[in-house]
Amino acid sequence: MTDPDVIRHNQQTQEPKDTATVKYNVKCPLERGEVAKLKVYSAVRKVKEAGRIVFVWRALTEGQDDLSGYHTDETGWLVVRPQVIGDFPSTVLESYVRFIPLS
């Protein structure tokens, strides 16, 4: 995901400019030189509200090879909003993530 204001699409669907879907593979090195392989399907939506921007996402992860049959379900949100403390402008980040392992 690069610029969230750019319209993304693939050959099957066209997404709104505030939404992105991604499918990717992850290789996680383990201690004994082995590699755990995961496939991740994720979607994120950006919502602009008065005084803040909210990102809401969902990701489903599938184990590959030796991890076949293991899955995770992740949902979350991130709120980004400005805040001024005295004369210093700052940014507040509030987030929540629910991560559920499934097998």
Q: What is the pLDDT of residue 10?
A: 52
Burial (0-12, 13-18, 19+ Cβ within 10 Å), 61? buried
The yes-or-no verdict on residue 24 having pLDDT over 70 is yes
Q: How many CB atoms lie within 10 A of CB 71?
A: 16
The yes-or-no verdict on residue 8 having pLDDT over 60 is no
Q: What is the pLDDT of residue 15?
A: 66
The yes-or-no verdict on residue 2 having pLDDT over 50 is no
pLDDT digits (tens, 9 = 90+) for 74-99: 999 999 999 998 999 999 999 999 99
Q: Model pTM?
A: 0.73
What is the domain partition of the chain in residue ranges? Answer: 19-102
Residue type, 37: K
